Amino acid sequence: MGRPGSALDNAVIESWHSTLEFELRSRETFAAKADGLIVALTEPRLLPLTVGVLGDWGSGKTSLMGLACAELTAEAGARYACVRFSPWQYEDYDDVKVALMAAVLAELGKQAAGDAEQEAEVGRLKA
């Protein structure tokens, strides 16, 4: 950096400020999208509902889902299960749906731990 108040300092500060503004706008956009997703997921008239989150690499799909998951679990507690699943890890499998269902049942099993009735229901689903 140059002398305090120099053009170089001002350029660095301006660049940092622009980056910060962009980051804040991006977070607001993600928060708005997450809110829309949460409304859709929690609206009984829309159930059952399948949601696809599509975008280029680095576009924020995981961030969006993380925000939605955090909000759903904070508001509704154990009513929702957030399952992280990366289908490309299973591209060698004949049927990726089997891996997805195993991941869903594993998460439900974790949430059911300690509740005999729920544990039995998850066990029935696994059979």
Phi, psi of 84 (to 5 degrees): -85, 125
Residue 72: C-alpha distances to residues 23, 34, 49, 58, 95 (Å): 23, 10, 15, 23, 29
5: phi > 0 → left, psi -120 to 50 → alpha, else beta; which? left
Confidence of residue 7 (pLDDT cuts 50, 70, 90): low
Q: What pLDDT, in 10s, does the model give residues 94-124?
A: 788 888 888 999 999 998 889 899 899 999 9
Residue 68 contacts residue 41 (beta carbons within 8 Å): yes
Residue 112 contacts residue 122 (beta carbons within 8 Å): yes
Q: What pLDDT, in 10s, does the model give residues 66-102?
A: 888 888 888 765 678 888 888 888 777 778 888 888 8
> Domain limits of the chain?
1-77, 83-127
Name the pTM for this structure.
0.64
